[in-house]
Structure 1
Amino acid sequence: MRQLQAFTLGKKFGQPEANEDSLVVMPNLGYAVIDGVTDRNGTRYDGMLSGQFASRTAKRAVEYFLLAQGHADQPELQFQGGEHFVDYLGKAIHTGYAANNALAAVEADWKLRGGCTVMAVLLMGDRLEVVAVGDSGLRVNGNDILQVLKPLDDVTAILRRQTWQYFAARHHSAEECDRLSTSVTWQGTQNQIDGTPTADPEFVRLIEADTLAACRSHLPGAPEHELLLLIQQGIAHGQGDFQNVTEPVLGYGAIDGFPVPSRYIETRSYALADVETIELFSDGYFKPGIDFGIASWEAAFAAVEAEDLHKIGRYMSTKGTTATQLTDDRSYLGVRFR
């Protein structure tokens, strides 16, 4: 290794301790970027919100796994492929639930589970073994990118965009547009508080129809009942029905303490001699840097913020930057081998 650069920043201004991203930096052993899933309802384990708990638990598990490589007395911790590695991380989170006396609760209600994405690069002899679940990314040699974005997010992002534009057209402030669109995106159209602008029957009728039409155009292969479930129930009440299950077209994977179907586990293997640089990143970066290094990736981040601060344009997202926080936590980890 000739050079290593690492950077992470939480989305909440003045609250660095709330960052749900985690980094694993173990030169000559391995690296990882882990992104905790935003908590839905204030659930805490070990004093942390559930997403941060999952992220930190997975970080410790990856570090322990890397340290165990080559130890004959720990055969169960030797690398046996992507599915084995992901199962190991899931069991670590599952054990964490048990330590918090929460197993029965999380088995009964997905809303109480913590979750995270993982992009891990493990150095195994003369090879780099890559294992990924979720939408954190990897760029190898400056051009080979692995990042599995989930179409499900596009549905709730379109719902947010349509809601934001609806209220903007009625001369609400940007702050109000952010607040109202967040409520609809998070809770869904059918879970709004009576008497609020987002519970108005005419608004609900229009926004459901407009969002469904936009989603049909954007995701023509997605069944209407899946689109409507997300539109009407939002992230907090509907998204978990798609996590780690294979039946829905819009299904996706996350490490949450329970089995992850193999279709959601991505693996790659590279000869170390062929790799000059690796760059791991969380999805707080909406486009990659032009060059290797923090400075280039931060320049790309600044360009995105300047063009689409509210994330309702080219970089449409389920959240936007507001006066109190950025769109998302972001992390970058770059290694130059030669």
Structure 2
Amino acid sequence: MKPTIKDVAKHAGVSFKTVSRVINRESTVGQELQDKVWKSIKALNYQPNLSARVLRGAASSIGYIYDNPNSNYVIEMQRGILEECRRQDYELVIHPCDAKSPTLLDEIFGMVDRSRVGGLVLTPPMSEMPEVLSALSERNVRFVRILSGSEPPDDHSPCVFIDDRTAAYKITQYLIDLGHTEIAFLGGEEEHKSSSERLAGYQQALQENHLKVKKKLIIEGEYAFESGVKRTRQLLSLSPTPTAVFACNDEIAAGTLFAARLSGVDVPRDLSIVGFEDSPFSRQSWPNLTTAQQPNAEIARTATRLLISQIRHRKGDKPAESEGFYPQLIVRDSSCPPAGRRSDA
């Protein structure tokens, strides 16, 4: 016979309601009592019954909504969310969407109704779309947003915010400190706020160093390798050509590196390249890419923890608070001073 929750309660010398609260990781149970219950759960090899949770009307799964062409970003997000779901005995429903679809809201609500998820982890651009957030709030669907910003945009729901602007400022300042003055910027999709935030940081650094912001060096595009290749070819046709490129993510940066090589441009001697995210692209390219470290799996785990805290929130509990991440510059081999500022020039 498989052990039941009552067996665990008897073994631990507590009520079965206490065991249930511990399994559901409610904050009302003290640490000493939690340790006692988990010890009994392990001793009896008790497995919580997720189907029973569903029958009681309690959520047993959460949903992950995304629209992003960056496969590394999506994989890291999925990994982080799944790790936290497993730790807290939840299932994960993954649902890619087209953010530009006229039936986006119907699609999201259809998934929520079919899967009976307890809440959603939203990533850009859905996490930054007011119409989506308003509709979810009206339907009382819990959600946590992952978004770009230096602070929470509001107090409607907890979010995980990423300070892209400051990170982009530091990247640009780093290139300026190396001696670069002709610095190109390759952005991502305009519907992603990270694109505008990183552009703002880039422009701020140039302006504070009394360098002109040149429109011809700012080229919009997609967060994709092919987009990086195409736009770099455009940059290399300019006269004079830029001596450095700030690419809005590592996939774009890898595309820039590829296009430079096809054109016989030496990286970093003739062209310094900096990416963003610290994805596998940055470490597998040669030379390795200078980048800003954005711990996507950790960001996803944090968002999932905040969401589950919302789902399990009981009257009197302290509400979950937003948390911030601050990408840090990692200097590798794809950047160096421009010609004329090097000892070997």
Pick the structure with greater CA Rg. Answer: 2
Q: Name the structure, 1 or 2, with higher relative contact order (CA <8 Å, separation 6+).
A: 1
Instruction: Give the TM-score normalised by structure 1.
Output: 0.28
Instruction: Give the TM-score normalised by structure 2.
Output: 0.28
